[in-house]
């Protein structure tokens, strides 16, 4: 399984750069080169492209060289080295490409009641559920929201996550949606060791007391242009489902976003089959997320497209729902990602390795598919596949040293 293809940089660059250092004697360096070559499709375990007793040379910005420690080029031999003593594996930094990181309030009491038999509808009728979160988020100051989001981002960091996608969607009005996106911008300044990608999800639900056409007009004519003008988001997302936004409404909002130059994503075919996976492929969306109810036609459409099918197995677990047909998507040739869907109602977890564990157990994904799900394919869903999600020379110096000697240990453990 050992693959020793390496990419080298010119010694001239190495010599002229300062701050070059290396990790040597990693038990394995997982480059993911095979996954990159296959663009994340039809993967087999050897696509992990592991290098036994490997080394990584890097500076503050980029990876300079990857290969077996024994083949470390001469020009790098005198630099600062960290010896991993063949006890730790190295892999690209994890990417959680679907979270609702920014919101205020707690729904712990609702969770307890729901588990004890109170229905979601009963809780919603009392002003609980998403309404509860929207109210708390509107009332929270930008400082308070930042404080709580920062703590959450650091939890993700401790699980190996280095790139975090964050959606708005708990403001559901112009002012609060912008406030939540501003928090993500502030997080990027506060935590330069992570990469934040923000997504405007105004079309998450219909706000109480506002007619839907009126809200859609606000999204298209007021908030989206402002988001673009202030450079507050890279993507626009819509929740297309029964009781939320229709296929036609979703298409209208996403076409408006594309016109402004934003990338698009869809919360697709989650509660009911709405043909939204096919819409994602048609609009060349960067991802179609959830997909619990995707049709066979939807699977075929995604397989033929570059749209990443984003699996959120923690949500199915949390809601005791059936899992998305990941195996069918993978076998059809789709690119499949794995994310937490961290949110206050249906998945209160920032533990991406736990989602990998669920993907192995309930989505029947092999090791390369799981690896790609949180590296290359997740990067592709954020438009970052040329610089993140693989451990190759020229890519960002964005990798994690595991406290284990093999990658599989990471998802063998459950919820560690
Ligand atoms: Zn979501």
The pLDDT score that the predictor gives to residue 13 is 45
How far does residue 341's CA lie from ligand 1's centre (Å)? Answer: 5
pLDDT for the residue numbered 15: 42
Q: Which helix (H) or strand (E) holds 9?
A: none
pLDDT of residue 78: 87
Residue 296 Cα to ligand 1 middle (Å): 22
CA of 289 to the centre of ligand 1 (A): 7
The three-state secondary structure class of 74 is helix
Residues within 5 Å of ion ligand 1, judged at the Cβ atom: 341
Cα(120) to centroid of ligand 1, in Å? 17
CB 3 within 8 A of CB 50: yes
Could you give the 3-state DSSP secondary structure of residue 21?
A: strand
> What is the distance in A from the centroid of ligand 1 to the CA of 256?
21
For residue 190, report the distance from its CA to the centre of ligand 1, in Å: 24
Q: How far is the CA of 287 from the centre of ligand 1 (A)?
A: 12
Burial class (CB in 10 A: 0-12, 13-18, 19+), 333: middle
Q: What does the pLDDT read at residue 6?
A: 46
Distance 128 CA to ligand 1 centre (A): 18
- Tell me the C-alpha distance between 266 and 254, whole Å: 9
* 98 CA → ligand 1 middle, Å: 6
Q: How far is the CA of 36 from the centre of ligand 1 (A)?
A: 26
- 306 CA from centroid of ligand 1 (Å): 20
What pLDDT was estimated at residue 258? 98
Dihedral (C-alpha) 76, 79, 80, 85: value to the nearest 10 degrees?
Answer: 40
- Interval between CA 276 and ligand 1 midpoint (Å): 15
Q: Tell me, in angstroms, the distance from the centre of ligand 1 to residue 170's CA.
A: 11
Domains of the chain: 11-91+394-412 (2.30.40.10), 94-380 (3.20.20.140)
Residue 346 CA to ligand 1 centre (angstroms): 9
CA of 196 to the centre of ligand 1 (A): 16
* pLDDT reported for residue 18: 61
Digits of tens for pLDDT over the chain (416 positions)?
Answer: 444 444 444 444 444 446 899 999 999 999 999 999 999 999 999 999 999 999 999 999 999 999 999 999 999 988 899 999 999 999 999 999 999 999 999 999 999 999 999 987 888 888 888 889 999 999 999 999 999 999 999 999 999 999 999 999 999 999 999 999 999 999 999 999 999 999 999 999 999 999 999 999 999 999 999 999 999 999 999 999 999 999 999 999 999 999 999 999 999 999 999 999 999 999 999 999 999 999 999 999 999 999 999 999 999 999 999 999 999 999 999 999 999 999 999 999 999 999 999 999 999 999 999 999 999 999 999 999 999 999 999 999 999 999 999 999 999 999 98
Query: Long-range contacts: 359-362, Cβ < 8 Å, 24+?
Result: 359/311, 359/313, 359/326, 359/411, 360/411, 362/313, 362/316, 362/317, 362/323
DSSP β-bridge partners for residue 65: 57
At residue 19, φ and ψ (nearest 5 deg) are 70, 25
Q: 6 CA to middle of ligand 1, Å? A: 38
Query: Is 118 in a helix, a strand, or coil?
Result: coil
Ligand 1 centre distance from Cα of residue 10 (Å)? 43
pLDDT (0 to 100) of residue 124: 81
Pairing mode, strands 263-268 and 235-239? parallel
DSSP string, 352-379: HHHHHHHHHHHS---HHHHHHHHTHHHH
Cα 169 to ligand 1 centre (Å): 9
pLDDT at 126: 86
User: How many angstroms is it from 79 CA to the middle of ligand 1?
Assistant: 44
Q: Ligand 1 centroid to 396 CA: how many Å?
A: 27
Does the predicted TM-score (pTM) go above 0.85? yes
Ligand 1: distance of its center to the CA of 267 in Å? 6
What span, in angstroms and rounded, lies between the C-alpha atoms of 250 and 104? 26
Strand 63-68 and strand 50-58: pairing? antiparallel
Query: What pLDDT sits at residue 11?
Result: 43
| Residues sharing a CB contact under 8 Å with residue 116, sequence separation 6 or more, in sequence order | none
* Contact between residue 169 and residue 100 where contact means Cβ atoms under 8 Å apart: yes
Q: How far is the CA of 291 from the centre of ligand 1 (A)?
A: 11
């Amino acid at each position: 399984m050992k693959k020793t293809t390496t990419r080298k940089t010119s010694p001239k660059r190495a010599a002229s750069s300062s701050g070059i250092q290396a990790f040597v004697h990693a038990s394995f360096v997982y480059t993911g080169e095979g996954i990159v070559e296959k663009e994340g499709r039809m993967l087999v375990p050897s696509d992990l492209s592991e290098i036994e007793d490997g080394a990584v040379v890097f500076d503050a910005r980029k990876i300079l060289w990857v290969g077996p420690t024994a083949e470390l080029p001469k020009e790098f031999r005198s630099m600062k080295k960290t010896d991993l003593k063949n006890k730790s594996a190295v892999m690209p930094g994890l990417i959680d490409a679907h979270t609702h990181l920014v919101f205020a309030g707690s729904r712990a009491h609702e969770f307890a009641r729901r588990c004890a038999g109170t229905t979601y509808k009963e809780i919603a009728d009392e002003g609980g559920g998403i309404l509860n979160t929207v109210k708390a988020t509107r009332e929270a100051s930008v400082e308070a929201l930042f404080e709580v989001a920062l703590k959450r981002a650091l939890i993700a960091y401790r699980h190996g996550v280095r790139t975090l996608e964050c959606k708005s969607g708990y403001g559901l009005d112009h002012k609060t949606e912008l406030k939540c996106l501003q928090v993500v911008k502030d997080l990027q300044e506060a935590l330069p060791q992570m990469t934040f990608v923000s997504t405007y999800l105004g079309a998450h639900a219909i706000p109480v007391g506002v007619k839907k056409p009126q809200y859609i007009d606000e999204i298209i004519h007021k908030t989206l242009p402002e988001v673009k003008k202030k450079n507050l988001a890279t993507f626009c997302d819509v929740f297309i489902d029964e009781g939320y936004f229709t296929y036609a409404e979703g298409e209208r909002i996403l076409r408006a976003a594309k016109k402004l130059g934003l990338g698009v994503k869809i919360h697709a075919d989650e509660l009911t089959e709405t043909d939204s996976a096919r819409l994602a492929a048609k609009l060349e969306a960067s991802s179609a997320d959830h997909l619990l109810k995707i049709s066979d036609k939807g699977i075929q459409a995604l397989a033929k497209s570059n749209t990443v099918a984003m699996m959120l197995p923690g949500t199915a677990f949390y809601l005791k729902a059936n899992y998305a047909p990941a195996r069918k998507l993978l076998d059809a040739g789709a690119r499949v990602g794995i994310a937490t869907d961290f949110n206050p109602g249906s998945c209160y977890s920032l533990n991406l390795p736990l989602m990998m564990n669920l993907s192995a157990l309930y989505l029947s994904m092999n090791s390369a598919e799981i690896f790609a799900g949180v590296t290359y394919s997740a990067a592709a869903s954020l438009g970052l596949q040329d610089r993140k999600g693989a451990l190759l020379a020229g890519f960002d110096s964005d990798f994690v040293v595991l406290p284990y000697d093999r990658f599989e240990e990471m998802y063998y453990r459950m919820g560690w």
